[in-house]
Chains A and B, each alone.
Chain A
Amino acid sequence: MRLIINKLAIFLSSLMAILGLFFLGWILVTLVIKGSGALNLYIFTHNLVNNGILNLIWGQFVLAGLAAFIGIPVGILAGIYLQEYGNNSRYAYFIRDLSDVMMSAPSIVVGTFIYAIIVMPFGHTNGWAGVAALFVMLLPIVVSTTDDMLSLVPVELREAGAAIGASKYHVILHIVLKAAKVGIMTGLILAFARVVGETAPLLYTSGSTIYMETDLNHTFPSMTVSIYNLATMPDEKLVELAWAAALVLTIIVMMLNLLGRYVVRNKR
C-alpha cells in the first residue's frame, strides 16, 4: 500500500511539473513563431513611428534603469537598517511587514496611485511618473532581498569582526555586505528583470509614444504599454510588430534571469 501511494505521489507530481513546463513551452513556442516573422534588424534601428521598436527598448530601459538607480541604494540601505540596526524593534517588524505587503500589491494599484499623485498634477502622462511607479514596484523587492541575504550571514562573522576591533559600521561595510554580495547582486538583477517587464504600472503613468523621447517630462515610450496598444490594432503588420516586441522583451527578461543565476553559480 505504501509503495502504491509513493508511486502515485511521484506520478502526480511529475505530471504537474510536466503540465507547468508544457504551458511555459507553449508560450515560448507561440512567441517565437508569431514574433520571429517581424523580427529583423530594421525594427531595432527605427522608432515605432516608422514601424520599429528602437524607441520602445530605449524607453523601457530608461524607465526601469532610473527606477533601479534610485531604488537600489534606497532599498539596500533600508534592508541594512532592518537586519543590522532595527532587528528586534517593533518599528523594524512593522516596516518589514509593510514591505512584504507592498511586494504583493497589485501593480495596477501602484499605477493608479502614481496616476493620482503625479500624473494628475502634471496634467499628462510623463516619464517621471513611470519611473516613480516602477520605483514603487522595485523598492520592496530590493528591501526584502537585502534583508534576507544579510540574515544569512552568520552572527559569528559579525562577532569576529567586532572582536578584532571593527566598529559596527565597519563590520557591516567590510564584512557583512561582502559576505552577502553575491546574493544581493542576484536579487538586484532579478528585481530589475521583474520591473523591466511590467505593464500595468506604466499604462497610465508613462503612457507610451511612437516617437523617440529623451525628456522625462513628456509622455515616454514604453515597450510593454506599446505591445498592449499594438496588439489591439486592426492593422496586421502592427500586430506582428507587437509579437516581435513581446519576443524581444521575453528574451531580455530571460537573459537577465540567466545572468542572475550565472552570477550565483560562478561566485559560490
Chain B
Amino acid sequence: MNNKLEIKDFSFTYRGAKSASLCNINMSIPTNKVTAIIGPSGCGKSTLLRSMNRIHDIYNGNIYEGEILLLDEPQQQNILLIKKENDFIKLRQRVGMVFQKPTPFPMSIFDNVAYGLRLSGTKNKRLLKEKVVKALKDVALWEEVKERLYDDARGLSGGQQQRLCIARVVALKPEVILFDEPTSALDPLSTLAIEEMIIELKKNYTIVIVTHNMQQASRISDYTAFMYLGKLIEFDVTENIFINPKNKKTEDYITGRFG
C-alpha cells in the first residue's frame, strides 16, 4: 500500500502558546483512501489537518517540529521546511483544503472555480471553461448551476456553496484534499450529497477529513485516527477503531462515555 503523507514525530506549538498543541504525532496517510480524524473539541485534529497544507502559516510565529513528508514516488518533500511564498503556493495547489463554513469568493460561480486555475497558469479561455465544467460535474453541481454560471456565487444555498468550494479545489487537480468538518454547517441532505461525493473523489484523490460526527467517519472513511489532548491515541482501519478498539480511551469515546 502506498502512502501519500508521512507524519513523523510531529509537534506543533501556536505562536505565543506555552505548551505544544500537538505532541509527537506519527501517522501515514494512505494514497487514494479516506482517512478520518476524530476526537473531542480541542484535541488538535484541525490543527493537525491545517499543518498538512501549512495554512497555519498565513499567521506568523507558529513552531513546527518533526517532519511531514509529501510523497510522490520516488520523490519526497518535507513540507515543514517550506519558507518561500511561491513554495507555499505550490504546496497548496498539491494539497487542497475545504473548510467548515462554505466560503464562496465574492465573484460569479464560474470565476470561483476559475480563480485558482487562472492563478496556477491556465490562461486559455476554452481550456479554462472545460476545466471549470469538468470540476462542477465532478461535484454534481453542474446540473444545478449551468443556467446561471455568471451569477454571484453567494446566491447559492449552503450545500451548493460547499460543493462549489470543493469544485474549486478539485479543479486544481491536487493530490490530497483536506476536509475540515465540511458538513457541520449543512443540513442532512446536503451532508449526504457531500459524503457520496467524497467516496467518489477517493478514486482520484487522497482524502483526509476531520469530523465531529462519528457516524460520518464510519460511513465514509477507510482509516480512522482518534486524537485526544494533542496526541494520536489510535490509528487503524476504520472497522477496527469502531468495532474493536485497542485503546480504552478510544472505546470510551466511540461509545459516547466522554467527549
Could you tell me if A156 and B101 are in contact, using CB atoms closer than 8 angstroms?
yes
Output the least CB separation between A152 and chain B (Å).
12
Could you tell me if B58 and A162 are in contact, using CB atoms closer than 8 angstroms?
yes
- Given known pairs A156-B99, A158-B58, A162-B92, the reply for A167 and B85 (CB within 8 Å) is yes
| B103 contact from A154, A170, A178, Cβ within 8 A | A154
Could you tell me if A174 and B53 are in contact, using CB atoms closer than 8 angstroms?
no
A213 vs B165: C-alpha distance when bound (angstroms): 56
Output the least CB separation between A90 and chain B (Å).
15
Could you tell me if A164 and B168 are in contact, using CB atoms closer than 8 angstroms?
yes
| B92 contact from A157, A164, A178, Cβ within 8 A | A164
Q: Using Cβ atoms and an 8 Å threshold, which residues of chain A touch B105? A: 157, 160-161, 174-175, 178-179
Q: What are the interface flags for A136-165 relative to B under an 8 Å C-beta threshold, 1 for contact and 0 otherwise?
A: 000000000000000000101111111111
Could you tell me if A164 and B99 are in contact, using CB atoms closer than 8 angstroms?
no
A165 vs B106: C-alpha distance when bound (angstroms): 17
| B58 contact from A164, A165, A168, A181, Cβ within 8 A | A168
Q: Using Cβ atoms and an 8 Å threshold, which residues of chain A touch B107? A: 174, 178
Could you tell me if A165 and B92 are in contact, using CB atoms closer than 8 angstroms?
yes
Tell me if B115 counts as interface (CB < 8 A to partner A): yes
Tell me if B89 counts as interface (CB < 8 A to partner A): yes
Interfacial residues of chain B within 85-144, with CB under 8 A of chain A in the complex = 85, 88-90, 92-93, 96-97, 99-101, 103, 105-107, 115-116, 119-120
Tell me if B241 counts as interface (CB < 8 A to partner A): no
| A165 contact from B101, B116, B165, Cβ within 8 A | B116
A43 vs B100: C-alpha distance when bound (angstroms): 61
Interfacial residues of chain B within 47-72, with CB under 8 A of chain A in the complex = 53, 55, 58
- Given known pairs A159-B58, A175-B106, A181-B106, the reply for A164 and B115 (CB within 8 Å) is yes
Tell me if A249 counts as interface (CB < 8 A to partner B): no
Could you tell me if A168 and B96 are in contact, using CB atoms closer than 8 angstroms?
no
Output the least CB separation between A158 and chain B (Å).
7
Interface size, chain A (Cβ < 8 Å): 20
- Given known pairs A168-B85, A179-B106, the reply for A163 and B101 (CB within 8 Å) is no
Could you tell me if B116 and A157 are in contact, using CB atoms closer than 8 angstroms?
no
Could you tell me if B103 and A174 are in contact, using CB atoms closer than 8 angstroms?
no
Output the least CB separation between B41 and chain A (Å).
18
Q: Using Cβ atoms and an 8 Å threshold, which residues of chain B touch A174? A: 105, 107, 115
Tell me if B169 counts as interface (CB < 8 A to partner A): yes
Interfacial residues of chain A within 86-121, with CB under 8 A of chain B in the complex = none
Output the least CB separation between B47 and chain A (Å).
14
Majority secondary structure of chain A interface residues (helix, strand, loop or mixed): helix
Tell me if B172 counts as interface (CB < 8 A to partner A): yes
Interface size, chain B (Cβ < 8 Å): 26
A157 vs B168: C-alpha distance when bound (angstroms): 13
Could you tell me if B103 and A160 are in contact, using CB atoms closer than 8 angstroms?
yes
Could you tell me if B120 and A165 are in contact, using CB atoms closer than 8 angstroms?
yes
Q: Using Cβ atoms and an 8 Å threshold, which residues of chain B touch A181? A: 106
A167 vs B57: C-alpha distance when bound (angstroms): 12
Q: Using Cβ atoms and an 8 Å threshold, which residues of chain A touch B53? A: 163
Tell me if A210 counts as interface (CB < 8 A to partner B): no
Output the least CB separation between A91 and chain B (Å).
15
A174 vs B165: C-alpha distance when bound (angstroms): 16
Q: Using Cβ atoms and an 8 Å threshold, which residues of chain A touch B106? A: 175, 178-179, 181
Output the least CB separation between A43 and chain B (Å).
45
Could you tell me if B58 and A157 are in contact, using CB atoms closer than 8 angstroms?
no
* Chain A contact residues, CB within 8 Å of chain B: 154, 156-168, 170, 174-175, 178-179, 181
> Can you spell out 13 A-B residue pairs with CB atoms less than 8 angstroms apart?
A154-B101, A154-B103, A158-B58, A161-B105, A162-B58, A164-B92, A164-B119, A164-B172, A165-B93, A174-B115, A175-B105, A175-B106, A178-B105
* Chain B contact residues, CB within 8 Å of chain A: 53, 55, 58, 85, 88-90, 92-93, 96-97, 99-101, 103, 105-107, 115-116, 119-120, 165, 168-169, 172
18 new A-B contacts at CB < 8 Å, known A156-B101, A165-B120: A154-B101, A159-B58, A159-B99, A159-B103, A160-B97, A162-B58, A163-B96, A164-B115, A164-B116, A164-B172, A165-B93, A165-B119, A166-B115, A166-B116, A167-B85, A175-B106, A178-B107, A181-B106
